[in-house]
Amino acid sequence: MRASKDTQELNVADEILSVLPAGSVMRICSDDRDTLRFAVRAAGLKLRQITLSRASLRRLIEDPQSAIKIDYLRRDIERSAKRREAFQYPRQIRRATKRVKGALALRPWVLASVM
């Protein structure tokens, strides 16, 4: 059963990565079993590494709108291949505000109400 899940994950990953030039993507060994890692080597592309979460790929396989989401991922990789060095799915969420250590983070509307 595990082998068929691995095969499905790889098939979805291959489908997503098919937008990159032929022969430019190679699967590399991962430190953990939770991710699939790929190296990209192509002239004119800044992209060098792609990391895909196996759990996210499994959820994508079972999703009724998987074709639409796969198409979105393909466009996202194609768009970012010339601008970014690494692509990760799912993307990591960044904090919108940075807090200074030992200080309060004030929002702009709080300052406006004080003045």
Q: Residue ranges per domain, the chain?
A: 2-89
Average pLDDT on 107-115 reads 56
Predicted confidence (pLDDT) at residue 98 exceeds the cutoff of 90: no
pLDDT of residue 30: 83
Q: Which helix (H) or strand (E) holds 15?
A: helix 2-17
State how far the alpha carbon of 107 is from the alpha carbons of 50, 94, 100, in Å. 36, 17, 13
The whole-angstrom separation of Cα 69 and Cα 71 is 5
Edge-to-edge strands of the sheet including 25-28? Answer: 25-28, 35-40, 49-53, 86-89
Q: For the purposes of burial, counting CB atoms within 10 Å of the CB of 57, is it exposed (0-12), middle (13-18) or buried (19 or more)?
A: buried
- pTM, entire model: 0.76
CB 35 within 8 A of CB 52: yes
For residue range 1-57, list pLDDT tens digits in order.
566 878 999 999 999 999 999 999 999 998 889 999 999 999 999 999 999 999 999
